[in-house]
Amino acid sequence: MTTFTGTWSLARLIVRRDRLIMPLWILVLGILPASYASAIAGLYDTASERQEYFESIQNNPAELGMLGPIYNSSLGSLTSWRAGMLLAITGLASILTIIRHTRAEEEAGRRELVGAAAIGRQAGLAAAMLVTTIANLLLGLLCAVGLLGQDLPATGAFALGLSMTAIGIFFAAIGALSAQLTETASGARGIAIAFLGGAYLLRAAGDAGGKDAQGWLNALPWFSPLGWAQRIRPFAQERWPLLILLCAMAALVFIQAQRITAQRDLGAGLLPPKLGPANASPSLRTPLALAWRLHRGALAAWAAGFAIFGGVLGGAADSIAKQLEENDNVSEIVEKLGGTGALSDTFLALLMGLLALAASGYAVAAASRLRAEETSGRLEPLLATATGRRSWLGSHLTFALIGPTVILTAAGISGGLAYGLAQNDVGHELPRVVTGAWVQLPAVWVLTGITVALFGIVPRYLPVAWGALAGFVLLGQIGSTLELSQWVLDVSPFTHIPKIPGGDFSAAPLLWLSAIAGALILIGAGSFRRRDLTS
């Protein structure tokens, strides 16, 4: 038996376990570039309009920082620039996938159980990397085929698809290495996501200077793998050596991860764990305090990220609105999505809607912690104490409901302050933008309710909640482009949210969405109290 014995068997097991969630992120990330191309072609249907759009982007540091550099006014180059954020999202999906099937398996004790069979020491990590690599290859292929369907040049289409594949594989390798450093999956995710965030900030700081960036600022993106991926330049005299560089770096990082796997003890990490006190402090002796301890790190990171993102886009809202006003087609689309007020208001309403979709990811993840505690075996001894199921469930639900409120409030405050300062009217603009963030909460809570209902009734199908979120994202992003019927768009709770600021406020949809969320939570809680614990 070799150290890689059983790799294929474990790979098949991973595919079976991720048969719902993996196809979803492949599909969503793979088809979005084609939808961007279709939308841009419809909105800027002449070369002169695309040239004006290109020039306006070049003069907007916020857009360059958020999405990356743009190289020419062709439809392909505009599409590649618009898909810049997808590179970071692909990296995040790869990180979460590989850590879920490596360090999380060790932490839960399943890796030790599997290791009792004829499974090599390095087979688990190899299988996880193999499946994640194949998933990224399929994603890149789907992206390229979709762009070819939009009559874009094949060279650029495959360059963009392969850049998404390469960045996904690179961050999968980063996730594999992070999984060797700590004893917990949350610690590994924290390290890998911090690396991804640092790479994004380096790229954004350098690219925000645009074509006029000089000196050390111009060099910053070259210290970021995301910067390398975007400098492959799809549809703009492609630089294929950068693709090879990304793949080579991914291979080196993964080889190092495999070396560490072969040398360390099962369940151990290179970084020594911090020793805690023998007895819990009084502040940790309640279910709510324990839940706070488990959720606080993720909540703080999400809130900080939303505050930064909201501040950047809030400060740029006015300039972006002026850019959009130059194209009647774009103005009409934005008004449909964001309301009927001033275009800067409709942009802010649209921004809050997008942030609410992202906040739903936190809501689903926080509610999914219920299942993680159950399958890890930590819940059973906790319930053997005086802690009841109702109080334990309620403690985690507190963060699944209040957490999105905190992070959207952070985005609303930072966005409102930045926009208010730009307008020299903070007192007027701040409450309007914060209200625009708050009205999104009932739709976010519906996702929390779906997750809790699945946890209570059919816990093994909890990943369906991520599928629901992916479906709502697709309906919001490409539903109008595909000219879907209104009843199809109405499936998403986010369709019913008032467009604030910029539109008319109506309390009715907020009330019945909150009622739906509450009913789903009650159904899930009642079902959980009656069912047996499962692993």
In 173-192, which positions are buried (b, 16+ CB within 10 angstroms) versus exposed (e)? bbbbbbbbbbbebbbbbbbb
- Residue 483 has a pLDDT of 63
In the three-class reduction of DSSP (H, G, I as helix; E, B as strand; rest coil), residue 363 is classed as helix
Lowest mean pLDDT among 56-65, 223-232, 258-267, 283-292: 56-65
Plot region of 304 (φ>0 → left; ψ -120 to 50 → alpha; else → beta): alpha
Listed residue (106, 251, 98) closest to 178, CA to CA: 98
pLDDT digits (tens, 9 = 90+) for 105-132: 888 777 777 777 778 788 889 999 999 9
SS (H, E, C) 7-19: HHHHHHHHHHHCC
Confidence category of residue 322, pLDDT binned at 50, 70, 90: low
CA-based angle 435:438:439, to the nearest 5? Answer: 90
- Residue 1 has a pLDDT of 67
Confidence category of residue 491, pLDDT binned at 50, 70, 90: confident
Confidence category of residue 323, pLDDT binned at 50, 70, 90: low
Long-range contact pairs involving 484-487 (C-beta distance under 8 Å, separation at least 24): none
Side chain identity, residue 529: R
- Residue 452 has a pLDDT of 95
Reading the block at residue 103, the tokens are: 């360090």
Rg of the chain (C-alpha set): 23
Confidence category of residue 149, pLDDT binned at 50, 70, 90: very high
pLDDT digits (tens, 9 = 90+) for 3-19: 788 889 899 999 998 88
pLDDT at 288 over 70: yes
Lowest mean pLDDT among 61-65, 99-103, 170-174, 516-520: 61-65
- Residue 229 has a pLDDT of 93
Confidence category of residue 234, pLDDT binned at 50, 70, 90: very high
- Residue 325 has a pLDDT of 61
pLDDT at 27 over 70: yes
* Residue-range domain boundaries for the chain: 1-265, 291-535
Indicate the DSSP class of residue 273.
Answer: P
pLDDT at 57 over 70: yes
The string of DSSP codes covering 98-160 is HHHTTHHHHHHTHHHHHHTSS--TTHHHHHHHHHHHHHHHHHHHHHHHHHHTTT--HHHHHHH
Per the CB < 8 A criterion, the answer to whether 192 and 218 are in contact is no
CA-based angle 225:227:228, to the nearest 5? Answer: 65
Reading the block at residue 215, the tokens are: 């000196």
- Mean predicted confidence (pLDDT) in 277-282: 71
Reading the block at residue 216, the tokens are: 């050390």
pLDDT at 371 over 80: yes
The beta-strand segments (E) located in 220-323 are none
Reading the block at residue 341, the tokens are: 């007020």
- Residue 177 has a pLDDT of 95
Plot region of 502 (φ>0 → left; ψ -120 to 50 → alpha; else → beta): left
Residue written as token pair 């890689």: 4
Confidence category of residue 45, pLDDT binned at 50, 70, 90: confident
Distance CA 156, CA 282 (A): 60
Per the CB < 8 A criterion, the answer to whether 258 and 122 are in contact is yes
pLDDT digits (tens, 9 = 90+) for 175-194: 999 999 988 888 888 889 88
Task: Round the average pLDDT of the chain to a whole number and report it.
Answer: 86
pLDDT digits (tens, 9 = 90+) for 443-457: 999 999 999 999 999
pLDDT at 337 over 60: no
- Mean predicted confidence (pLDDT) in 272-292: 77
Listed residue (55, 48, 49) closest to 72, CA to CA: 55
pLDDT digits (tens, 9 = 90+) for 493-519: 988 888 888 777 888 999 999 999 999
- Residue 505 has a pLDDT of 82
pLDDT digits (tens, 9 = 90+) for 385-396: 888 889 999 999
